[in-house]
């Protein structure tokens, strides 16, 4: 088969023709990718955060500390498995399993590459694809909340229940913003198939700006910049990552929904979090970053998007997004619950609705190139969204002096020590010293002289 065929974008007609052993191999590859990416993701996060905090991180077990995650997994496997007396044993056992299964299942419709030849069979580097593949991704993301809620409820304890309830409210809030962000992708690509969305991002046109023709970028991260920003923020909230890790909230709810879990069940919850992070990074790459297509200037090479090379570009984009997840965790503090909900319902949701309305209006104009007008409006709208998110909500007030703070404290509040940090002389010490040296005691003397 010619290299041109190997560089072809897969279509829905290319699926369902593989032999059983090839389908099984793809399933094993997707599952192994999720587990291996989790092991390396934990090590990657600890190393990057250690570098940010000017400390080495794991560096003793294995080369560069690569086997530290494996050692931690074995340690958790051999720990004692404690079952609370008031727990619902069946639900308590299956809750972490639900979270892991939902996170791994989403990888089945993620394209890792174009058409390739495997032992003489020409097949796409994707487990399967359906006309509504993106809805399957949303369903897997939505089902993941059941593992957290059921885990908190089945523990039979107060703090896990509170953590599970907060998690359900968080998932529902940011699931709406995530779904609306994908609506813009549907409208632009004209399909819900993941392979079709990747193919649509490969269509490049040329725009005429101020009399100069320039190549128009095909990635929806540029064409639909507001949708990309909102989708990634919602992704961080969906995966319970900092600064949106309120379901865990160690400083507020001990350890959130997983307080009563230990041993392998706790490891499964931890595994589901990192698998979800890698999965959502792969979904973001597919929907907004061109999928397995090579970035510029690698596209100058004609064979960049053919053969097995696209897997390298895909993995590179996923690692870059995982780094952003880790960067946020090592930089931003956890939001308060009211701030978190305000951001989802009063900022992201209205902006998303307005952007979809504007995008619909632009697509209805027949005499104007769709890609050009989306770029002309989308990029300024995205920059305006970034400025809105990071613009201070109120003018900083001048910090009051220490004496003003003391004067403005409410009546009856707990007494404050003197501002000069000098405590009055102790009556007991004064009496003892007076008995020993009466002549050295002067009325009103400082305690430092006593």
Residue 301 DSSP label: S
Q: Does the predicted model carry a pTM greater than 0.85?
A: no
Tokens linked to 178: 């995530």
Strands 206-209, 212-215: pairing kind: antiparallel
- Give the pLDDT score at 2: 35
- Give the pLDDT score at 239: 84
* CA–CA separation, 305 and 191 (whole Å): 22
Q: Which of 79, 2, 80, 68 is nearest to 39 (CA)?
A: 68
The terminus-to-terminus CA distance of the chain in angstroms comes to 99
Average pLDDT over residues 243-264: 75
Q: Which of 286, 277, 270 is nearest to 236 (CA)?
A: 277
Residue 114 DSSP label: S
Which tens digit of pLDDT belongs to each residue from 63-80? Answer: 888 898 889 888 888 888
Return the C-alpha torsion angle 337, 338, 342, 345, nearest 10: 60
- Give the pLDDT score at 206: 52
- Give the pLDDT score at 321: 94
- Give the pLDDT score at 444: 47
Buried b (16+ CB within 10 A) or exposed e, 223-238: bbbbbbbbbbbbbbbb
Degrees (nearest 5) of the Cα angle 161, 164, 170? 145
Q: Which residues contact 192 (CB under 8 A, 6 or more apart)?
A: 131, 132, 133, 134, 135, 186
Residue 394 DSSP label: S
């Amino acid at each position: 088969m010619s290299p041109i065929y190997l560089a072809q974008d897969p279509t829905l007609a290319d699926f369902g023709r593989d032999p059983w052993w090839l389908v099984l191999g793809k399933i094993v590859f997707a599952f192994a990718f999720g587990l291996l990416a989790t092991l390396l993701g934990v090590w990657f996060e600890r190393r990057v955060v250690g570098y940010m905090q000017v400390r080495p991180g794991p560096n003793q077990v294995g080369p560069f500390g690569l086997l530290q995650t494996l050692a931690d997994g074995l340690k958790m496997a051999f720990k004692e498995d404690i079952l609370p007396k008031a727990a619902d044993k069946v639900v308590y056992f299956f809750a972490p399993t639900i979270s892991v299964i939902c996170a791994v299942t989403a990888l089945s419709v993620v394209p890792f590459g174009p058409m390739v030849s495997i032992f003489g069979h020409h097949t796409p580097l994707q487990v399967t694809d359906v006309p509504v593949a993106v809805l399957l991704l949303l369903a897997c993301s939505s089902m993941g909340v059941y593992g957290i809620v059921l885990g908190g409820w089945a523990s039979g304890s107060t703090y896990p229940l509170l953590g599970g309830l907060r998690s359900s409210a968080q998932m529902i809030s940011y699931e709406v913003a995530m779904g609306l962000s994908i609506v813009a992708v549907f409208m632009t690509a004209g399909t819900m198939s993941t392979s079709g969305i990747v193919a649509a991002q490969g269509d490049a046109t040329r725009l005429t700006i101020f009399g100069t023709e320039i190549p128009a970028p095909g990635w929806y991260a540029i064409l639909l910049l507001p949708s990309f920003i909102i989708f990634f923020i919602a992704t961080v909230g969906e995966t319970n990552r900092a600064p949106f890790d309120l379901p865990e909230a160690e400083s507020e709810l001990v350890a959130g929904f997983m307080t009563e879990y230990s041993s392998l069940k706790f490891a499964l919850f931890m595994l589901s979090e990192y698998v979800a992070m890698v999965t959502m990074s792969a979904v973001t790459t597919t929907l907004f970053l061109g999928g397995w297509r090579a970035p510029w200037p690698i596209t100058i090479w004609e064979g960049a998007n053919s053969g097995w090379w696209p897997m390298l570009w895909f993995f590179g984009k996923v690692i870059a997004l995982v780094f952003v997840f880790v960067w946020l965790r090592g930089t931003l503090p956890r939001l308060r619950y009211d701030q978190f909900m305000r951001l989802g319902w009063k900022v992201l949701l209205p902006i998303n609705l307005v952007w979809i309305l504007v995008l619909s209006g632009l697509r209805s104009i027949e005499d104007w190139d769709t890609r050009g007008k989306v770029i002309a409006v989308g990029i300024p709208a995205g920059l305006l969204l970034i400025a809105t998110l990071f613009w201070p909500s109120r003018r900083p007030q001048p910090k009051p002096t220490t004496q003003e703070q003391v004067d403005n404290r409410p009546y009856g509040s707990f007494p404050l020590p003197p501002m000069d940090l000098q405590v009055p002389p102790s009556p007991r010490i004064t009496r003892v010293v007076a008995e020993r040296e009466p002549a050295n005691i002067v009325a009103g003397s400082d305690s430092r002289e006593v």
